[in-house]
Structure 1
Amino acid sequence: MAISFDHTIVAARDKRESAQFLTELFGLPDPVPAGRFMAVRLEHGATLDYADVPDNEEIRPQHYAFLVSDDDFDAIYAKIQSRGLPHWADPAGERPGEINHRDGGRGVYFPDPAGHHMEILTRPYGSGG
């Protein structure tokens, strides 16, 4: 049986702002309305479907990691720096302003507008290096 990931719902205070943040940072096509969601389509076809959460409801931060090429890492990291976004080399945030070099690649963590923990990395964990 072939099983592939199709979509996930991402909670946001402002679905358009959060979806646009990701598409601009990653150089992806603009998000598109999909019912009550703003959908961000990734290269392999899966979507992040951003949904507004009422102000009286808590958004529990989730972690979203994206495997990117070295060139994409350079472009995204340059935008992170030029926008003055806080970022860290580690998930605990103990190495602010740095990137990591796990498994011979590069990685960095940063928040999105809703407070989710975003990560870009150039090598999958455990791939050696």
Structure 2
Amino acid sequence: MKPATFADTVVLYEGMIVNQIKRLNIYQDYEEYYQCGLIGLWHAYERYEEEKGSFPAYAVVTVRGYILERLKKECVVQERYVCTDEYEERFECEDTGTRAKDFMSVLDEKEKHIISERFFTGKNMGR
């Protein structure tokens, strides 16, 4: 039998949410996963049908399912999006001015002038 109000349900099953988070070895973004657990508990509370079984068993399965869905979505995000800071640290960018001087050292005076005017002063070399 389910509790009379959702507030009573939260008080009774808060430990179960925490337990599911621990069993899934979630140690980062704890609050976010706790909220997912509360949402799962709310859905279990709203959708529970007494003739189909006990509320505690249904609540555990529903809460765990919501937390697992959030974990899956987080994994997809991490696979699709790469943090650019990671690559910047990996491939330390040299000072562009220094690199440009190195490249320009092999050009003749006319080529240096064209590059300098076009890229460093922003002039458009019309045809």
- TM-score, normalization by structure 2: 0.22
Higher CA-based Rg: 2
Q: Which has the higher contact order (CA 8 A, sep 6+)?
A: 1
- TM-score, normalization by structure 1: 0.21
